Chain A
Amino acid sequence: MDLCRFERCCGLERIRGGVVSGIRRRGLKVGLAILLIFAAAFIALPVASLFIKSASGVTLQTLRDPVVIDALTLSLFTATTSVVIVIILGTPLSYLNARFDYPGKEIADSLIELPVVMPPMVGGIALLMAFGRMGVLGQYLHAWGVNIAFTTVAVVVAQIFVSMPFYLRQARISFEDVDLVLENAARTLGASRTQVFFSVTLPIATNGLISGAIMSFARALGEFGATIMFAGNFQGRTQTMPLAIYTAMQGDLSVSLCLALILVAISFAIIATVKILTRRMYRSDVRD
């Protein structure tokens, strides 16, 4: 009797099959765990290294360095201004895109997404060609004595350009998620279109809008390419944190590290806030 027949007779084949599939499953688990550890380490190691290397060089003194203070102040001011403008302009635009059809909507949608895929440097040159002193619109503005390029306004314009799509996309999804029947119910109860927007649509979409605004703020804060091309790199005027990190790298590394740590801390806070908001959104969806 050959071995295979013997195993089949005794039912050993099934046991051996079970053992083999068990080993395979365990192997798969181990493989996935290794992959996960590598992926986590790939992100965690550079971040941890920032802290390790900063430990010796960064002191409270570095935090008081004028380069750090100027960059931090400018970055927070410009990113906040950008996000406020993005919210004011982007909220009605997103609502329009979520609720109404109009000629050229497809083209408008593609244009809105363009800055996300366009390299920031290209965005910077494009802004310069539009609003620079010799630019398509800039030459007329210049004639009126208005110069945008290489000023703090240019920093804000560059940040709006790159960060607006993040808000527009999220805001549109949030508005689309608000059930149209709720808006209809509000209207039959006597609310005008404006009342419906402010008392039903906006409150229900709020978590999504905040999450979009935070992502947009993060993108504005990290903006480098378009800013350096369109606004230049002048301390206190256009040198935001990413630009200051890049500049300080050529001189005082501790300033670079200090700014990098601040940006990492802000990024962590942003991720945590977005996660909490998304979870709350999900929970309210489940409750519905």
Chain B
Amino acid sequence: MLEIRVQKRLRDFDLDVSLEVPEGEILMLVGENGCGKSTLLNMVAGLVNPDAGEISLSGEPLFDSSLRINLPPENRKIGYVFQNYALFPHLTVYENVAFGLRAHHLPKQKVEEKVDEQLKAAGLWELRDARAVRISGGQKQRTALARALAIDPSLLLLDEPLAALDIRRQAEMRQELGDLIRDFGVPSIIVTHDLRDVVSIGDMVSLMETGKVIHTGPAEEVFNAEPLAGAVMR
């Protein structure tokens, strides 16, 4: 279970969020641009420090202002798929997926096994030697996800994972992405703007507005809950 209770003073408003994501559930985080969604993901990942609060994963604190605990991002074991994927342009698809395993100093053979497994599962085996900048949007998305999953993360964070794809690819990838994350079975937060993502991928949905979560409920309720439908449709 991921438990978040954080406060941070941002330039235009105060972010104050309490959220829980049970083991194996997917929380869809929606809200207008600049409402603090990406900042919240970065706080969970350890890339931005909250002013106060606690973040814990399976009972282990990642951040606790009262106990002065703040694990650096490299020790949090979080699989983060960034907006636009943030693939390393100087590395091949293979090296991108192997990056996290090498950073954890896994033995060479173990790295090879894991990367091969991820590449084959993601249908990227043929592209393993291609430079990450030379592959298509959909392939980039799958590489970014394979790279995040390769380190066996205890939590998945995805920031608009489908937004950079064209409409047709979005529909194909939506199903694939949902199945893959669900099979992985760790708590996940997905930031999205798209109502279709919420219904077909998510278990729960939370709506954020100027730094606060104003509604949380089951994903299928997205059509009924007035503030949610309005916000997502916008």
Counting CB contacts under 8 A, is B80 at the interface?
yes
B interface footprint on A107-128 (CB within 8 Å = 1, 0 otherwise): 0000000000000000000000
By a CB distance below 8 angstroms, the chain A residues around B151 are: 189-190
Verify B104–A190 contact, CB threshold 8 A. yes
Which positions 93-145 of chain B face chain A at CB distance < 8 Å?
99-100, 103-104, 131, 133-134
Verify A191–B133 contact, CB threshold 8 A. no
Q: Which residue of A lies closest to B86 (CB)?
A: A185
Verify A187–B74 contact, CB threshold 8 A. yes
Q: Which residue of A lies closest to B75 (CB)?
A: A190
Verify B82–A184 contact, CB threshold 8 A. yes
Verify A185–B103 contact, CB threshold 8 A. no
Instruction: Select one of B72, B89, B131, B148 contacting A187, CB under 8 A.
Output: B72
B interface footprint on A180-199 (CB within 8 Å = 1, 0 otherwise): 01101111111110010001
Docked CA distance A203–B100 (Å)? 17
A interface footprint on B57-94 (CB within 8 Å = 1, 0 otherwise): 00000000000000011111111101010101110000
By a CB distance below 8 angstroms, the chain B residues around A203 are: 90
Verify B103–A190 contact, CB threshold 8 A. yes
Docked CA distance A181–B104 (Å)? 20
Counting CB contacts under 8 A, is A56 at the interface?
no
Docked CA distance A158–B229 (Å)? 68
Which positions 198-249 of chain A face chain B at CB distance < 8 Å?
199-200, 203-204
| Chain A interface main SS type | helix
Instruction: Select one of A186, A188, A195 contacting B45, CB under 8 A.
Output: A188
Which positions 43-57 of chain B face chain A at CB distance < 8 Å?
45-47
Counting CB contacts under 8 A, is A2 at the interface?
no
Q: A182-B86, A185-B86, A284-B133 are in contact. Are A190 and B80 (CB under 8 A)?
A: no
Instruction: Select one of A182, A190, A200 contacting B100, CB under 8 A.
Output: A190
Shortest beta-carbon distance, A95 to chain B, in Å?
Answer: 17
By a CB distance below 8 angstroms, the chain B residues around A101 are: none
Docked CA distance A181–B48 (Å)? 12
Verify A200–B88 contact, CB threshold 8 A. yes
Q: A192-B74, A287-B134, A288-B133 are in contact. Are A186 and B88 (CB under 8 A)?
A: yes
Q: Which residue of B lies closest to A203 (CB)?
A: B90
Q: Which of B42, B78, B90, B147 has the most CB of A within 10 A?
A: B90
Instruction: Select one of A182, A189, A287 contacting B103, CB under 8 A.
Output: A189
Shortest beta-carbon distance, B202 to chain A, in Å?
Answer: 22
Docked CA distance A67–B155 (Å)? 69
A interface footprint on B159-171 (CB within 8 Å = 1, 0 otherwise): 0000000000000
Docked CA distance A91–B90 (Å)? 20
Q: Which of A182, A186, A190, A204 has the most CB of B within 10 A?
A: A190
Shortest beta-carbon distance, B210 to chain A, in Å?
Answer: 24
Q: Known pairs A191-B99, A204-B88; list 9 more (Cβ under 8 Å).
A: A181-B86, A182-B88, A184-B86, A187-B73, A188-B73, A188-B78, A189-B151, A191-B103, A287-B134
Residues of A within 8 A of B (CB): 179, 181-182, 184-192, 195, 199-200, 203-204, 284, 287-288
Chosen A-B contacts, 8 in total, with CB atoms closer than 8 Å, are A186-B88, A186-B99, A188-B47, A189-B151, A190-B77, A287-B89, A287-B133, A288-B133
